Amino acid sequence: MSHHHLRPLDLQNGRVERAHGSGGRASQQLVDELFSRHFHSPQLAVRHDAGILTPPPGRIAASTDSFVVSPLFFPGGCIGDLAVHGSINDVAMSGAQPLALTIGFILEEGFPLSDLDRIAAAIGQASQRAAVPIISGDTKVVERGKADGVFLSTTCLGVIPEGIHIAPQRACPTDVVIVSGTIGDHGTAILSCREGIAFDCDLESDSAPLHSLVAAILSVHPDLHVLRDPTRGGVSAALHEIAASAQVGFRLWEAAIPVHPTVRSACQLLGLDPLHLACEGRLLAICPADDAARVLACMRAHPQGRDSAVIGEVITESPGFVQLETPYGGRKLLDWPAGEQLPRIC
């Protein structure tokens, strides 16, 4: 569609204007000249109000997530790919294979179009790489000062294959906990570029889609009990939630938990615990101890799970709590992350 009556968008120096969210010609132009260059799906091409899907057999899984990360661009990613991975991963943690994504943009008046273009490109690439198309989208613009550049909201739909029953309530004593890689990379990467704390580091966010790793695990072990991606609140919050749902306890072996040396140093310096820091491309898998070797081997063979490790076990004692065995033979409790630690990490 062409807009002879409108000057083309200036993607280098232009800025978001209120008209871009008005639903009028300027809105249309933003879609045509910016979003359409990056998002490709048959559903978007027909320009219906709704994206229409014919799902394969199975139960539908849906998950929605909002993204307010600051800064918008960080080592290893940006708000765009983070928003794609975030919802895909939430759906994948139910054992579902994701089918499609929808995305909502809340833009602040004055936001540079060049940044919006970079974010849209990252969204398009992430969706393409994950092979999960974007089938519907929406854009709103709010006055300057009423948002912080751009906020995103994504919803992912997926289908759970027959025979898969993943639920936090299924964690039971004699199960073990496997993590798919080093923990806290995303949280540390965000911290490293935060105003007031910024430090040089060689670390990138672990932001990545996990559905292919999940599919690989389920192909060798369909009876997996629990999957969880330790995002906000990190491994600690994820395990506490599961402990409360299943009324079990956890015991982790601190020495077995994979932590990148940079994350370890940053945590020492800033007084944080890697177990409280967010991951955006890691999962926790809980399965019977007898199956652990098989699951672990499968995870390590997958590019998203090379550093997988068994880090703990499910126990009957002290349900609702997570214990940590230190390398010195002492035991301590791990707590929920309290109060504001790192706001706006996703």
Partner 1 sequence: MQLTEELRLPDRAERLFHALDRTVQPGRSYRLMEFCGGHTHALCHFGLLDRLPSSIRMIHGPGCPVCVLPIGRLQQAIDLAIHQRVMLCSYGDLLRVKGRSHQSLQSARSLGADVRVVYGPMDALALAKKHPDREVVFLAVGFETTTPMTAATVEQARKESIRNFSVLCNHVLTPAALSALLSATKDPVQVDGFIGPGHVAAVIGSDAFSAISQTFSKPIVIAGFEPIDLLASLLHLIELLNQGQSIVLNDFARAATPEGNRRAQAIIHQVMELRDSFAWRGLGELANSALRLRDSYRDYDAEHRFSLSTESIPDHRACRCPDVLRGSCIPTDCTLFGTACTPDSPLGSCMVSAEGACAAYFLHRPQRLLRKVHVTSSPSTP
For partner 1, the binding residues (CB under 8 A) are 196-197, 255, 261, 264-265, 268, 270-271, 318, 321, 323-336, 338-340
Report the amino acid identity of residue 197: I
Angle at CA 119, nearest 5°, toward 116 and 122? 150
Q: Among residues 73 and 253, whose Cβ is nearest to partner 1?
A: 253
The nearest distance, CB 265 to partner 1, in angstroms, is 6
Q: Among residues 177 and 334, whose Cβ is nearest to partner 1?
A: 334
**DSSP string across 215-275:** HHHHHH-TT--EEE---TTHHHHHHHHHHHHHT-EEEEEGGGS---HHHHHHHHHHT--GG
The nearest distance, CB 232 to partner 1, in angstroms, is 16
Which DSSP helix (H) or strand (E) runs through 83?
helix 79-92
Distance CA 189, CA 89 (A): 19
Q: Among residues 32 and 253, whose Cβ is nearest to partner 1?
A: 253
Q: Among residues 24 and 261, whose Cβ is nearest to partner 1?
A: 261
Which tokens go with 226?
Answer: 């629990």
The nearest distance, CB 48 to partner 1, in angstroms, is 42
Q: Among residues 147 and 220, whose Cβ is nearest to partner 1?
A: 147
The nearest distance, CB 110 to partner 1, in angstroms, is 20
Which tokens go with 24?
Answer: 């009028």
Distance CA 299, CA 85 (A): 19
The nearest distance, CB 316 to partner 1, in angstroms, is 13
The nearest distance, CB 28 to partner 1, in angstroms, is 38
Q: Among residues 124 and 249, whose Cβ is nearest to partner 1?
A: 249
Distance CA 201, CA 204 (A): 8
